[in-house]
Amino acid sequence: VIRLEMILESQMADILEFIYTGSVQISTQENAENLFQLADYLLLPNLKAIAEKYLKEHVNLFNCLPMYYLAKKYSVQDLMNICQKFIHSNFSSVVESDDFIKLSSHEVEKWIFSDEIVIDAEENVFELVLRWIDYDKSQRRVKFRDLFRHVRLTCISRDYMASNVVANDLVTEDGECLESVFHAEIWLGRSTDCYVPRPHPPRRALERGVIVVTECGP
């Protein structure tokens, strides 16, 4: 006797329907996620594919992050890619969710490291880091330096740097963070006729195209 105590009666009904008919009706995301996980456990790849298809077609702002980590847990690359692309494209909205603010520092670091996140300004990343720290400041402030190093300081305006970054206590209390700010200010204050390589390029969403017009002689 094999007892499958983790499977509810309604879920077993769906599994048996699939086994006997080769199809199953999925009506909710929760239903799809449960069948996805159970199909993986029971080695039913076709049922897992049906559940995965439903999940792919229903990615939204509210479920994209947990769905990404579900796909990652089960090594489903296609679903991971779809969720990751959606998160990147809607990053400013996704980071407002409780799911994001409760991520580990390692996961937050991974997301803000990316060139692909779509944001309005690099200042958004700095504010996101502060918001994540403030959620549990006593425990999380030790992670500030690890996250701050992914803020591309040379892409922040000098006014914002002076009024918000330099004045922040988390920055002023850390010598390495202050040194990063110092080097960024040197780059921002460089002479326009002096070429100094930028420490880090802007993210793709903040790149600005430049049109060069030249005049040819006769």
Which tens digit of pLDDT belongs to each residue from 28-61? 999 999 999 999 999 999 999 999 999 999 999 9
More confident residue, 211 or 16: 16
- What burial class does residue 11 get, using C-beta atoms within 10 Å of its C-beta: 0-12 exposed, 13-18 middle, 19+ buried? middle
pLDDT confidence band for 209 (50 / 70 / 90): very low
Sign of CA dihedral 145, 150, 154, 159: negative
User: What integer pLDDT is reported at residue 124 of this predicted model?
Assistant: 96
R_g of the chain computed on alpha carbons = 24
Average pLDDT score over residue span 48-77: 96
Q: Which two tokens stand for residue 116?
A: 């692909």
Location of structure tokens 């499977």: 7
Q: How far apart are CA 115 and CA 50, in angstroms?
A: 33
